Amino acid sequence: MDDNNEITINLLLLGKTQCGKSSLGNSLLGSYEFESRIFPQSVTKECRLRSMRIPNFARRMGKELGLRLQVLDTPGIPHSSLNQDEVKTRVRKALSEHFPEGLHMALLVLRADIPHCEEDNQHTVKLTEDLLGRDWKYFTAVIFTHAETLEHMRMTEEKFLSLAPKSLSTLLENVHGRCIFRDHPHETLYKERAALANQILHFVRQNSYQTLKSI
C-alpha cells in the first residue's frame, strides 16, 4: 500500500490471438481501453498499458482504500504479422518498462469453447515459462473466456475441468488451481470488473502481494 492509500496490482495478459485478451483487459478496467474485435488478422500489435483506479475498494483503519489495476495487453502468439521472437521481445521490454516493481499475476487466457489440443497447450505453457522464468507457476492464473458456452451446453465448470486433456490439467495443477471462468462477457463492464477484480485480488493476496521481477 502506498501513501495515497492505494494498492497497485500489475497484471499481464497472455494468450493466443483472438482468445479474448484485449476484451478481458477492458472488463478488468471497466472501460473500452484496448481494441478488441473479430478480425481475420491479429488486432493487437503493440504491448499497451492502461490503468484504472477503483475507489472505495476496501477500508483500512477508517480510511478508504483504492485499488489501482494496471493491465498490460500483449500481441498474441501465433501472430499474423509478427514472429514469435518479435512478440517475446516486445513483451519482455514492456514488462521491464512498465512494471519495474514486478508483476503480480499473468493472466493466461484460454478459450473454453474450442477443444484444447495437447500441442497447442504445451506451446502456450512453454511461452509463458520463457517469458516469466521458472517461477511462472506462482504468478499465473488461467482465465477461460467464452465460458458462456458451457451454460449453452448445460455443462458445469467442474465437469468441464474433469474433461480437460492432460496438458490442461497439468497446467491447472502447476498454477495451483488458479482459474476463473469469464462467463458473463455481456454484463455491464462495471459489474464484470468488480467480480473479476475480486477473484484476481484473492490470488494476489494468497501470494502475500509478492511480485515476480523481470527476468
Ligand X SMILES: Nc1nc2c(ncn2[C@@H]2O[C@H](COP(=O)(O)OP(=O)(O)O)[C@@H](O)[C@H]2O)c(=O)[nH]1
CB-CB contact of 57 with 67 (8 Å): yes
- Residues binding ligand X: what is the number (CB under 6 A)? 19
CB-CB contact of 171 with 121 (8 Å): yes
Cell of 7: 494498492
Candidates 8, 10, 23, 124; binder of ligand X (CB under 6 A) is: 23
**Chain centroid, CA 71 distance in Å:** 9
Cell of 95: 514488462
Task: Report in angstroms how near the CB of residue 37 gets to ligand X at its nearest.
Answer: 5
Per CB under 5 A, does 22 bind Mg ion? yes
Per CB under 5 A, does 128 bind Mg ion? no
Q: Which is nearer to Mg ion, 67 or 142 (CB)?
A: 142
Task: Report in angstroms how near the CB of residue 94 gets to Mg ion at its nearest.
Answer: 14
- DSSP 3-state of 22: helix
Per CB under 6 A, which of residues 144..163 are in contact with ligand X?
A: 145-146, 148
Distance in angstroms (rounded) separating the CA atoms of residues 76 and 195: 25
Q: Could you give phi then psi for residue 209, rounded to 5 degrees?
A: 60, 15
Tell me which stretch binds ligand X (CB under 6 A): 2-10, 12-20, 86-94, 155-163.
12-20
Distance in angstroms (rounded) separating the CA atoms of residues 54 and 44: 25
Tell me which stretch binds ligand X (CB under 6 A): 59-67, 83-91, 141-149, 158-166.
141-149
Per CB under 6 A, does 76 bind ligand X? yes
Applying CB under 6 A, the residues found at the interface with ligand X are 15, 17-23, 36-38, 43-44, 76, 145-146, 148, 182, 185
